[in-house]
Amino acid sequence: MSSRVCARPMFRAVCAFWLVTMPVAALGESVVLYSNDFETPNVPLVVNCGNSLDARGVNFLYGNEEFVYNQVHSVEAVLIDDLSDLYTDPEGIAGDVALGMLSSAQNDLLALTFDRQGFRYLNVGFHLSSIDVSGCGGPFGVAVPVMAVSLLDSPGGTFNFSQTALDTGLATGEAAPDQWTFHWTFQIVTLDADGATDDFVSVLFDLAQSGYAAFDNLSIVASDTIGIVDSDVDGVADDVDNCPTIPNPDQADEDDNDIGDVCDCPHDCADPAEAFGKVTATDALHVLRAAVGTAMCHVCVCDVDDSGAIVASDSLRTLQFAVNLPVDLNCPEFGGF
């Protein structure tokens, strides 16, 4: 059995919390087993350790009768707007809260158990960043974060940390500018459940590198297809989501064009010239950052070649326009015009 791991950019708007199970799917569709951006804990968060941590336990903060978090040592909630004002999150991807854990200093572990509903693969998607902690035993130092994600055989839904590992994958992030700055990369780890005793398996997170690191926007999707996750964390798998980049759990589509209403371009959609005023090289850089997932820009503004997605070529076209080369910036025509 082999794991497949990839990192890819993601356009993301900060959104409300969604925690969803979907027990039945149409033939061939993937099922979201778990989806959480950690913005809505069970109780108000408090910093009770170091500059940023709520260390009362992940299950206390986010668990419920259906989903029980098992952890070893002190996996915590990390408040991005920390008390000491040490942190910066220039990409703005994490919202207000992420989960944090130690690597070798304490070997924190975190696990959730699922019924995979007969599907072969569990695709685990999340954002990953190194970050340090002041106080609470820190600073711990940071390095390029590496998260080991394993699939354990949990017959009958009973869990313990010594269960047989069916598959393991490594998600490798990127170096942050410094120990107090978040730099998020979106990771997908595909775990193969072939060989499981029954449908019950557990997903185990173990930070393998970086003294301390955080992860956020977690989705776990059961599928017979490798790599399908819930990118916008709205409880709908990407292979059936009519707007996979913006949360829309109701999948509303008033004009029946198979594009969710929140992704439809309005009739007055703007290209960068209208949105930014005079187009400059700085605007082209913003489009490029949106293409690689480190900035936010609505597709109706930054998809200047009307391809249906924000990609690097949109940045090039914007730059060409900025230096007065003969190119047009096109308002996207998809979305019910």
Whole-number Å distance between alpha carbons of 92 and 153: 36
Closest CA to 183 of 82, 245, 94, 315: 94
Rg, the chain, Cα only: 21
DSSP 8-class letter at 135: B
pLDDT at position 164, please? Answer: 98
| Prediction pTM value | 0.78
**What are the residue ranges in the chain where pLDDT is below 70?**
1-28, 265-277, 331-337
Query: Is residue 222 helix, strand or coil?
Result: strand
pLDDT at position 13, please? Answer: 29
Q: Which segments of the chain does DSSP mark as H helices, in order? A: 58-62, 272-276, 281-291, 299-302, 312-322
The H helix count followed by the E strand count for the chain is 5, 13
Helix, strand, coil % (nearest 5) of the chain? 10, 30, 60
The structure tokens 């459940």 sit at: 193
Q: Domains in the chain, ordered, with CATH?
A: 4-223 (2.60.120.260), 265-322 (no CATH)
The structure tokens 């047009």 sit at: 328
For the chain, how many residues are written?
A: 337
Whole-number Å distance between alpha carbons of 129 and 267: 38
pLDDT at position 49, please? Answer: 97
Whole-number Å distance between alpha carbons of 134 and 92: 21
The rounded Cα 53 to chain-centroid distance in angstroms is 20
pLDDT at position 70, please? Answer: 97
Residue range 131-164, pLDDT digits in tens: 999 999 999 999 999 999 999 999 999 999 999 9
DSSP 8-class letter at 329: -
pLDDT at position 269, please? Answer: 57
Angle at 236 between CA 235 and CA 239, to 5 degrees: 150
pLDDT at position 130, please? Answer: 98
Q: Are 218 and 36 in contact (CB under 8 A)?
A: yes
